[in-house]
Each structure stands twice: as C-alpha cells, then as structure tokens.
DNA sequence: GCTCGAAAGGTCAGGAAAGGTCAAAGTCGT
DNA sequence: ACGACTTTGACCTTTCCTGACCTTTCGAGC
C-alpha cells in the first residue's frame, strides 16, 4: 500500500469521513499540487477507486471555478452484493433470468412483493418497443440500476 | 460553488423562493452593479441556469422601463407522477436535458443530491458503450425507470 | 404625428481558467 | 520476463467573464 494512488485515495476517504452529508468538493489542480503529481493522476484515482460499485459518485465541472465533487452514497451496497449483482446480471439478461433473479431477491427478503412487481413491469414496458437484438442489454442496464437503488439502505 | 455565475444564480433563486407566485422582476443593470460585473454576465446566468428545461421561463423588455422577469414553473400540479414523468422524458432524451430534469427535481425537493448524482452516474456509465444512435432511447428508459422508483413512495 | 436621443436589454467572439483523455513509459510482484 | 497496475505529459473540451457593438422602447420637443 505504498503508492501514490493509495495515499490520495485514503486522504480523500479521510476527508469524506469528516464531511457532513458525506460529500466533499475540491479542485483537481490543488490536490495534484498537494501530492506533487500531474493532475491526470487524480482522474486515475477517481476512476479506479471512487466508482458507483464501490459506493461513490463523482461529479465534476470544468471551466473557471471548476471542481470535483465526491459523494459517498448512503446506501453502500456491500462490496459483495454489488459485484454479485454485476456478476449475476452481466451485460445482458433474458426476461426469464431477470424474473428468477427478482424472485430470489424476494425470497431472501431483500425485496418485497410490490417492489418486485414494479421492477418487472418497468422492464417489460421499457423493452417491448425496442428492437429485439437490444432488449437483452437494455434489460440488464435497467435491472442493475433499479436493483441497486432498491437495495440501498 | 465559488464563481460569480453561481452566486448570482443562488441569489436569484433565493429571491424566487420568497416571491409570491414564483415570479420576480428586476433590472439587468442594477443586478450587474450589485455584483460588480458587466451586464452581459446576467444574460450568461439566465441562459445557462434559468432555462425551460430547468423549469424557468424568462421574459424581458428593452427600452426605458425595461425589465427581466423570471417565472418558476412548478411540477406539483395534481397530475399523477407517472404520466408527468412520461411526458417530461418521452421516448428519448439528451444528456443535457436529463441533467436539467434531475436538477429540477432536486430543486423541487423531490430528489436529494446523492440520488441525483447516482442517477446521473448510472446514465453515463450505461450509455457510453452504446452505439450513439441508441443512446437517447436507452437513456430515456433508464431515467424513467430510476425516477419512477425514486419518486414512488 | 415625427424625430431623435437616452435608457434599457441583446449578441457574439475571444481569452482565461478549470477539468478530461489517451497512449506511452515506468514499476512491481510472481 | 510477463502482466497488471501506476504515473506522466501532450493535447482537448467545457465553462466563465468581459468588452465592443447592436436593437428595442419610451418620451420630450417639434
């Protein structure tokens, strides 16, 4: 754990711990100066460490007065769960597999009947008019997004 | 949030909050003097932040006794959520309009910062690898699905 | 009424100040 | 020596702010 990216990561996480609302805002250039590295190193840290899968969202703005904002999601889908969802769903999924995944989540008590029905209905409605060859991937995107939102705490 | 445009934006929004009928009227020159900037800076703020997509309408009049009027459009009206969202998003949507809509929902207090950022991030991630000609429709599907899920309850 | 000048607001292009991207080079563990 | 991860730097895009110049409206004086 001795490289620069790790130091920057833990510095940012420390800031986040102490931040109200689990959100910090800073400038890329300043941070880079602080760690004496090129600015693009900051992007590297952000894209490898502060991803939605790991429970973070990064928003930025360019131009004068630009900034980088890191939000720590209140729902932190546990590492396992996030990667499990990712692995289970993948880049595309059939309707049958989507259904059975939803049923399984309901069985495990992670989703209630109403949520499951709602997600199922949205999946059907949003995919039916699509060209068949795109349904699988869109269904996967939709399912991942909604499940992530529902499993938050 | 450290630049002039942001300060002017939040000043105007504060005025709007306290205004009856969600409408304010002011003079460009005065406002510019107040913030010690050139008048055209006001136009910049108006065209970038108070757009119809974000839920505002701006009317102006030149000449003696000229003015700038900003009206805030509110969602709220009774119409049920689902059809309102459907109407607002439609079959496809650009990234810019999606951002505007999310900001508007946050403005209205229907979404918090974290949820907005999360939805924005998912839209970007799930959309970037797609063929450009499909992005608009997939983005619309994802946005509708997530917003409905978040506003349900 | 007309004309003209003053008093609004509008437009646009350019420079400066952020942050973004990508590929090549470097490092490190196995 | 290989592969994965890290670091760097050259070049790109977006956003902000200003200033020079343009258009519209009103009203005073003819």
Secondary structure of A29-81 in HEC code, one letter for each residue: HHHHHHCCCCHHHHHHHHHHHCCHHHCEEEEEECCCCCEEEEEECCCCCCHHH
Quick check: A14 pLDDT over 80?
Answer: yes
Q: What is the pLDDT of residues A29-49, one digit of tens each?
A: 999 999 999 999 999 999 999
Model confidence at B35: pLDDT above 90? yes
Of A17-21, A59-63, A117-121, A148-152, the least confident: A148-152
User: Which of A46, A71, A73, A130 is best to mutate for the B interface (most B CBs within 10 A)?
Assistant: A71
* Statement to judge: residues A59 and A83 lie in one domain: no
The pLDDT, as a whole number, for residue B83 is 87
Same domain flag for B66 and B91? no
Interface of A with B in 14-53 (CB under 8 A): 21-23, 25, 52
pLDDT band at B2 (very low <50, low <70, confident <90, very high): confident
Position A74 scores a pLDDT of: 75
Beta strands in chain B (DSSP E): 23-26, 56-61, 67-72
Nucleotide nearest to A41 (CA to C1'): D7
**What pLDDT, on the 0 to 100 scale, is given for residue A148?**
86
Name the residue in chain B with its Cα closest to that of A118.
B149
Give the residue from A57, A58, A93, A112 with the most B CB atoms within 10 Å of its CB, the best one to mutate: A57
* A134 CB within 8 Å of a chain B CB: yes
A67 touches chain B (CB under 8 A): yes
Question: How much is the average pLDDT of B57-66?
Answer: 94
Q: Which of A69, A141, A149 sits opposite B138 (nearest CB)?
A: A141
SS3 content of chain A, % helix, strand, coil (to 5): 65, 10, 25
Residues A137 and A109 in one domain: yes
Residue B51 belongs to what domain range?
Answer: 4-72
Q: Are B110 and B147 members of one domain?
A: yes
pLDDT of residue A4: 96
Q: b/e map of B62-100 (b: 16 or more CB within 10 Å)? A: eeeeeebebbbeeeeeeeeeeeebeebbeeebeeebbbb
Of B27, B55, B72, at which residue does a domain stop?
B72
Instruction: Provide the 3-class DSSP secondary structure of residue A23.
Output: strand
Please state the domain count of chain B. 2
Across the interface, do A149 and B146 touch by the CB < 8 Å criterion?
yes
Q: Provide, in whole angstroms, the distance separating residue A3's CA from nucleotide D2's C1'.
A: 21
> Is residue A58 scored above 90 in pLDDT?
yes
Chain B residues lying within 8 Å of A119, measured CB to CB: 149
Q: Are residues B91 and B58 in the same domain?
A: no
pLDDT value, residue A1: 65
Which domain-ending residue is among A42, A72, A102?
A: A72
Asked if the model's pLDDT at residue A130 lies above 90, the reply is: no
Identify whether residues A144 and A113 lie together within a single domain.
yes
Residues in chain A with CB shorter than 8 Å from the CB of B6 are 65
Residue A146's SS3 state is helix
Calculate the angstrom distance between C1' of C21 and CA of B18. 44
């Amino acid at each position: 754990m001795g490289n620069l990216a790790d130091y920057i990561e833990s510095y940012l996480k420390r800031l986040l711990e102490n931040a109200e609302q689990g959100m910090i805002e800073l400038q890329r250039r300043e941070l880079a100066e602080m760690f004496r590295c090129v600015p693009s190193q900051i992007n590297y840290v952000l894209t490898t460490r502060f991803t939605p899968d790991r429970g973070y969202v990064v928003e930025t703005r360019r131009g004068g007065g630009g900034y980088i904002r890191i939000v720590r999601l209140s729902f932190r889908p546990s590492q396992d769960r996030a990667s499990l969802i990712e692995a289970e769903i993948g880049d595309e999924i059939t309707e049958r597999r989507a259904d059975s995944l939803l049923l399984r989540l309901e069985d495990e008590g992670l989703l209630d009947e109403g949520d499951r029905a709602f997600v199922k209905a949205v999946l059907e409605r949003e995919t039916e008019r699509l060209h068949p060859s795109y349904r699988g991937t869109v269904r996967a995107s939709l399912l991942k997004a909604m499940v992530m939102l529902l499993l938050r705490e």
